[in-house]
Amino acid sequence: MAGSGSLVSTKIVIAGGFGAGKTTLVGSVSEIPPVTTEAVMTEASMGHDDLTAIPGKTTTTVAMDFGRLTLERELIMYLFGTPGQARFWFMWDDIVRGAVGAVVVVDSRRLADCFDAIDYFERNRTIPYIVALNRFDGQLDYTIEQIREALEIDQRVPIIDFDARERRSGGEVLRRLLEYTLSRPKEPELIG
C-alpha cells in the first residue's frame, strides 16, 4: 500500500451490547476527538438497562459514536459505534450501510447482552465481523473457546481479547478485522 499515492477510506462499525466498551474503543483509537452522542442516563432507563455489572455507568450512547484513524497516510478508517440498547437498534441498518467490516465488542461478564449484535451480523453475511472480548479489570471470566461455544460463533470468525481503554490494544483489534476482511473470499457478483 505504501507509495501508491491513492487515498482509500473504509467504514468500520463497532457494535455490541450495552456497556460493553464500544464508545471507549472508538475514543481510545481515534486520532481526532471522537464525536459521541452520550446522554446522561435517567429514570427513563430504569427497567430497560441492567446496571448490575456496571454500577458506575452514568451515560449511554443514544445515536452513534464517530472516530477516525489514519494508517500509513493512505488508509483512513472511519469508525462508527452503534448504540447498545434494543430501543435504538432501528438505527443499525443506516449505521452499517457501506461498512467493510464490524467489531462486536463483548463483555464476558454479560454474554447475553451481545447475542443480538452477533445475530445481526450472522444474518447480514455481506459484512465480515470479528468478536473482541473486552477485559474488564484486566481479566476474562471465560476462555475464548468457552465464549465461542456459548455464543455459537463459527470457528472461522476471529475472537480476540483486548482492553478497550488502551490505544494499542484497540488498534490490534482493528488490524485483525482488516486482516480477516481482506482474507475472505470475494463474493461472486450477480449478473443480471
Domains in the chain, please, with CATH?
A: 8-38+61-183 (3.40.50.300)
Per DSSP, 185 falls in state P
To the nearest whole number, what is the mean pLDDT of the chain? Answer: 82
Separation CA 58–CA 131 (nearest Å): 25
> 66 in helix, strand or coil?
strand
Separation CA 66–CA 107 (nearest Å): 21
* pTM exceeds cut of 0.85: no
Q: Which three cell numbers stand for residue 188?
A: 461472486
The model's pLDDT over 128-172, given as tens digits with 9 standing for 90+, comes to 999 999 998 788 888 999 999 999 999 999 999 999 999 999 999
- Alpha-carbon distance values, 8 to 69, 74, 75, 91 (Å): 12, 6, 5, 26
> 112 in helix, strand or coil?
helix
Please check the confidence at residue 192 and state whether its pLDDT lies above 50: no
pLDDT at 146: 95
The model's pLDDT over 20-78, given as tens digits with 9 standing for 90+, comes to 999 999 999 999 988 776 555 455 544 555 555 554 545 555 457 889 999 877 889 99
